[in-house]
């Protein structure tokens, strides 16, 4: 438990103090945000030039916080924790390249969609290859080649099927968080509540681990404590960043942050054996992604748009809702989704 507290506290302090430094550095170098033309009329013109790539602060603060927690407790990092952090950092690097191209070419679009997807797939494939290897002394690997909901369910889908499934999760959720970004503090708050849920899930799995307490409702998860430490480190870094990212934002996370955060959520879901539960926990991101799918599908099939603009948050902007109203109400939806997911997780564990 001390590891979790140290990771969260260090991540918070580093991010809180490091973000102003990043704001000054990025401002001097002209690393400012470009805004989509159709959003200019919605008041987003004032955001043009706001420093972006703030996700670098989140990633670095989380990595340092994770290392500091193990150093403070004189413990060894686990394979599960390191793999999730690798996934976060790798996708963050893809996002960083995307952000840098936007800044360098002074446009709102960075990497071409194919190149961006390729980067996500390469990082995801390495993660999928490694996550079913490296068994501990009890023969438990960070993940099994099975689909999971509240724990592993059904038979093995094989290494090929599992790899495809993992890639769908990684690309899907990294893009979902990316789509959720766009309003000051929206993605930070929405992913923060999911990370908080995974701190609780990892701690609960530790207390009911089959290695220490064999029973019908125990969990065969390799490194639940360290996964909770990872979630706490990223959460602390995210809260420190949100202090400066809250409306009106002084810095944006950019694709560097959104892809990294989506990756860490997918990695935590895979390693804690709660893959399908993430759809509920991160329900707001799923809803926003569905709004884009519906909008594109409707326009291609009928030539008509369902929403004034997608993703969904921009639809409400064009309806005249204040940005802070949208952000707070969407945060409330995110909290309700996380609470529902945690409720299901706990009810399934309860002895019958």
Query: What are the two backbone dihedrals, phi and then psi, of residue 106, each rounded to the nearest 5 degrees?
Result: 55, 55
Q: CB atoms < 10 A from the CB of 275, how many?
A: 21
- Give CA separation, 270 vs 81, 152, 188, 344, in Å: 12, 10, 21, 17
* 226 appears as a binding residue in the annotation: no
Q: What is the DSSP letter of 138?
A: T
Contact 167, 125 (CB under 8 A): yes
Tokens of 165: 């499934």
Tell me: is residue 178 an annotated ligand-binding position: yes
- 338: its two tokens: 């996380």
- For residues 231 and 92, give the distance between their C-alpha atoms in angstroms, rounded to a whole number: 16
Give the whole-angstrom CA distance, residue 31 versus residue 42: 22
- Residues making up the binding site for Mg(2+): 178, 255
Binding-site residues, in ranges, read 178, 255
């Amino acid at each position: 438990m001390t590891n979790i507290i140290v990771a969260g506290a260090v991540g918070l302090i580093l991010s809180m103090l490091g973000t102003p430094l990043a704001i000054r550095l990025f401002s001097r170098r002209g690393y400012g945000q470009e805004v989509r033309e159709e959003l200019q009329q919605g008041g987003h013109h004032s955001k043009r030039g706001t420093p972006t790539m703030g996700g670098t602060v989140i990633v670095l603060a989380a990595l340092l916080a994770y290392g500091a927690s193990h150093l403070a407790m004189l413990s060894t990092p686990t394979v599960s924790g390191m793999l999730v952090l690798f996934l976060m950092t790798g996708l963050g690097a893809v996002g960083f390249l995307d952000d840098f191209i936007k800044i360098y070419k002074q446009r709102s679009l960075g990497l071409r969609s194919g190149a961006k997807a390729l980067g996500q797939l390469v990082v995801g494939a390495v993660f999928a290859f490694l996550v079913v290897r490296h068994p501990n002394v009890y023969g438990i690997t960070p993940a099994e080649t099975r689909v999971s909901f509240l724990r592993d369910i059904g038979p093995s889908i094989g290494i090929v099927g599992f790899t495809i499934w993992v890639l769908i999760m990684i690309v899907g959720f990294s893009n979902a968080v990316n789509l959720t970004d766009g309003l000051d503090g929206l993605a930070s708050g929405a992913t923060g509540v999911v990370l908080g849920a995974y701190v609780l899930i990892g701690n609960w799995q530790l207390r009911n681990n089959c290695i220490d307490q064999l029973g019908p409702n125990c969990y065969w998860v390799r490194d639940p404590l360290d996964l909770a430490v990872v979630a706490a480190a990223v959460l602390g870094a995210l809260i420190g960043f949100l202090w400066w990212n809250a409306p009106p934002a002084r810095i944006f996370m950019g694709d560097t942050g959104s892809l990294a955060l989506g990756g860490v959520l997918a990695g935590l879901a895979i390693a804690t054996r709660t893959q399908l539960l993430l759809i509920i926990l991160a329900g707001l991101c799923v809803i926003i992604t569905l709004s884009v799918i519906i909008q594109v599908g409707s326009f291609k099939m009928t030539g008509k748009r369902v929403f004034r603009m997608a993703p969904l948050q921009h639809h409400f902007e064009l309806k005249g809702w204040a940005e802070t109203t949208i952000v707070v109400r969407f945060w409330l939806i995110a909290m309700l989704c996380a609470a529902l997911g945690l409720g299901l997780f706990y009810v399934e564990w309860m002895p019958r």
